[in-house]
Amino acid sequence: MTEQEPSAEASAAPATAEQAVPERRRGRRAAAAPRPPARITVTGVLGELLITAGVVVMLFLGWYLWLNDVVVGSNQQVAAEEVQEELQTRWERGEGTAERPADPGEPVVTPEPTREGEVFGALIVPRFGAEWKRSIAQGVDVETVLNSWTVGVGHYIGTQMPGEVGNFALAGHRWTYGSAFGDIDTFRLGDKIYVETVDGWYQYGFRGLEYVWPSGVDVLEPVPAAPGVAPTDRVLTLTSCNPPWSTAERIIAYAAFETWYPRAVGPPPEISSLVEAGR
């Protein structure tokens, strides 16, 4: 009996089984192979940089337009209280104005400071807040006065001083760096504005607002907007930018002198608590 040769199907089966193992191994090696890194494009990098820059700009604007404003305004408030205390101390030492008016009812004229940036008084405006006050310095230099963390309000050199017949003109920011005059457009007819110096308090009553171009500097004349006219009244002028976040115009607030409170008599009743807070 002769031995039968294996059929083609029988001999092929083992070969297929043996080939399965290396096929599976090759599959595992292919699955485990790392993917090629994503391509870094110039557009992608530029996009990420722009997003990062946008976030940084937004954070800066938030700090500059809001947080910085709050912090500086608070610091200016504290500094004004310290100025009030210093004014009281100077008066107690006899450093008040030596020249007195012949009429006891007339206000003392505050001497003009000899140095730009020198603080000589405090501005108190109840309409701006129950405890609102700012120091007043000589000059309107942006960096040393208007942007100052301790001042915020400046006196236009060349305009009159408190108590003097003519125009006592002040400037302050409408926004940023404490926004000293941020609420200048909220005045109501008759609102009281007070200027405190070493000699006492000058009370003014608000009369009206005016909007002018930046070139409208005649609002600083002794008689506002009337060059060459001799003054007969005492006027307080507050100036700031308009509209908010713009320097396209100037907003002007006018107030007329009403009365004078010598330091020996005491502060005006409306602000007596604010004055005491500064001592």
Q: Which residues pair with 155 in a beta bridge?
A: 138, 170
Q: What is the pLDDT of residue 146?
A: 98
Q: Which residues pair with 49 in a beta bridge?
A: none
User: 108, 170, 219, 241: which one is catalytic?
Assistant: 241
The string of pLDDT tens digits covering residues 222-272 is: 999 999 999 999 999 999 999 988 999 999 999 999 999 999 999 999 999
Q: Which residues pair with 253 in a beta bridge?
A: 209, 238
Alpha-carbon distances of 65 from 21, 145, 178, 201, 244, rounded to whole Å? 71, 19, 10, 33, 12
Q: What is the pLDDT of residue 274?
A: 74
246 — alpha (psi -120 to 50), left (phi > 0) or beta? Answer: beta
Which residues in the chain show pLDDT less than 50?
1-15, 17-18, 20-21
Active site residue 241: yes
Q: What is the pLDDT of residue 97?
A: 84
Give the three-state DSSP class for 209.
Answer: strand
Q: What is the pLDDT of residue 22?
A: 52
C-alpha to C-alpha distance for 175 and 178, rounded to whole angstroms:
7
Q: Where are the domains of the chain?
A: 62-277
Active site residue 173: yes
CB 162 within 8 A of CB 194: no
Q: What is the pLDDT of residue 102?
A: 73
- The domain defined by 62-277 folds into Sortase; Chain: A; (2.40.260)
User: 133, 134, 155, 173: which one is catalytic?
Assistant: 173
